[in-house]
Amino acid sequence: MIRRLVLFLFIGICLAACGQGETPLEPTAAIVTETAATVAETETVAPAATDTAMVQAEATTPALAEAAAATATIAAAHTSAPAPATAAATATAQSGIPSGRTDAGIFYLGQPDAPVTVRDYSDFL
């Protein structure tokens, strides 16, 4: 009887010790994930501040002109840079879709002279 009691006590102590060892890991991982998700959600929602399903706006001419000028300046500034200089080449995927970089150094996928250009301004995170 006493041997059984000692055995149960020993098992109980082992289980408690194992449980304590794992406890800190889960909340840490959860916090990191939650933080990333929270930041992403905040960054996405806050600037838009709208409940509408779809928001569109005609780009103003000054804004686009400024963007074009800025990217042109960037391209000029990097023409002598070793890494971007090697990026002038285009590549074609096995599917036959060409890819490359614009004069401003922006990566594109599709026919360079396609009638519609869709530029995605986004963050990989």
Q: Are 107 and 101 in contact (CB under 8 A)?
A: yes
Applying CB under 8 A, among 66, 76, 79, 103 the residue interacting with another protein is: 66
Give the Cα separation of 125 and 123 in Å (integer).
Answer: 5
- Give the dihedral sign, CA 105/110/115/118: negative
- Mask of contacts with another protein, 73-92, x by CB under 8 A? -x--xx--xxxx-xx-xxxx
Footprint of another protein on 20-39 (CB under 8 A): 32-33, 36, 39
Binding site for another protein (CB under 8 A): 32-33, 36, 39-40, 43-44, 47-48, 50, 53-59, 63-64, 66-67, 70-71, 74, 77-78, 81-84, 86-87, 89-93, 95-97, 99-102, 104-112, 114-125
